[in-house]
Amino acid sequence: MTPEMKKKILIVDDEIESLAYLGQILLREDYYVIYANNGADAISLAIQHLPDLIILDMMMPGIEGSEVATTLREDPTTKDIPLLIVSGAILSKNDQIPNNAPEHNQYVLAKPITPSEIIELVQKILLTRH
């Protein structure tokens, strides 16, 4: 499959280990992966590449994930891109389901994340999008 045909996923996390971990999982599933390790790059790359999904860490120095999400939602070119928010600040796995809002293209996943969790949710999000 050519890169143009693959689903594009932008991963945003200030922890390089998290970027690499999620990237490897998604690359094995044949997604086209774009990386950003800060909020400013995330916004710029989202506008430039218009990914099919953005996986966004909430806790980052500088521009936090919530600010990135607000900025992307306010931009007409990126407002409809689904956001998968990953955070270690969520108290438990049970808290993530009530925070999912498919009607707003926003989903929440608690860290630590298993490969099967991320793959299952990414596939679900991308299926509902197209």
- Does residue 1 form part of some domain? no
Beta carbons of 31 and 49 less than 8 angstroms apart? no
pLDDT at 124: 92
When divided into structural domains, the chain yields a total of 1
In a domain, 3, yes or no: no
Residues spanned by the domain of 116: 8-129
Q: Indicate which CATH number applies to the domain containing 84.
A: 3.40.50.2300
Long-range pairs of 34-38 with CB within 8 A, sequence gap ≥ 24: 34/8, 34/9, 34/10, 35/10, 35/11, 36/10, 36/11, 36/12, 37/12, 37/13, 38/12, 38/14, 38/62, 38/63
pLDDT (tens, 9 = 90+) of the chain, 130 residues, equals 666 689 999 999 999 999 999 999 999 999 999 999 999 999 999 999 999 999 999 888 899 999 999 999 999 999 999 999 988 765 455 554 545 555 668 888 888 889 999 999 999 999 886 5
Residue with tokens 């994930």: 65
* Assigned domain for 2 exists: no
The predicted structure's pLDDT at residue 91: 47
Asked if residue 115 belongs to a domain, the reply is: yes
**Does this model's pTM top 0.75?**
yes
